Amino acid sequence: MSGRCGTVSLVGRPNTGKSSLLNRLVGEKLSIVSPRPQTTRHLVRGIVTVPGCQYIFVDAPGNPPRLKSVLHKALNRRVGQAASEADVVLFVVEAQRFGPEDRAALERIPPAQKTIAVVNKVDTVKRASQLIPFLDRLGRTRDFIAVVPVSARTGRNVPELLRVLAQALPEGPAAYPEDQLTDRDERFFAAEMLREQLFAALGEELPYRCEVIIESFKEEGNLRRIEASILVERQSQKAIVLGKGGERLKAMASAARRELERLFQGKVYLGVWVKVRRAWTDDARVLRQLGYE
Ligand SMILES: Nc1nc2c(ncn2[C@@H]2O[C@H](COP(=O)(O)OP(=O)(O)OP(=O)(O)O)[C@@H](O)[C@H]2O)c(=O)[nH]1
Ligand SMILES: [Mg+2]
Residues found in the chain: 293
pTM of the model: 0.92
**Residue 146 near residue 157 (C-beta atoms within 8 A):** no
**Residue 100 near residue 53 (C-beta atoms within 8 A):** no
CB neighbourhood size of 244 (10 A): 7
Please give the CATH number for the structural domain made up of 186-289. 3.30.300.20
Q: Hey, which CATH number is domain 4-168, 3.40.30.10, 3.40.50.300, 3.40.640.10, 3.20.20.80?
A: 3.40.50.300
Per-residue pLDDT of the chain (293 residues; tens, 9 = 90+): 479 999 999 999 999 999 999 999 999 999 999 998 889 888 899 999 999 999 999 998 887 555 677 888 888 888 888 888 899 999 999 999 999 999 999 998 999 999 999 999 999 999 989 999 999 999 999 999 999 999 999 999 999 999 999 999 999 999 999 999 999 999 999 999 999 999 999 977 888 889 999 999 999 999 999 999 999 999 999 999 999 999 999 999 999 999 999 999 999 999 999 999 988 888 888 888 787 76
Q: Ligand 1: distance of its center to the CA of 194 in Å? A: 18
Q: Ligand 1: distance of its center to the CA of 59 in Å? A: 12
| Single-letter amino acid code for the residue at 57 | F
Which residues contact residue 133 at a Cβ distance below 8 angstroms, ignoring those fewer than 6 apart? none
Query: Taking Cα atoms as reference points, which of 188, 141, 169, 177 lies closest to residue 9?
Result: 169
Q: Ligand 2: distance of its center to the CA of 90 in Å? A: 13
Domain spans of the chain, in order of start: 4-168, 186-289
Ligand 1 binding residues, C-beta < 6 A: 14-20, 33-35, 37-40, 61-62, 120-121, 123-124, 151-153
- DSSP secondary structure letters along 168-187: HSPB---SS-TT---S--HH
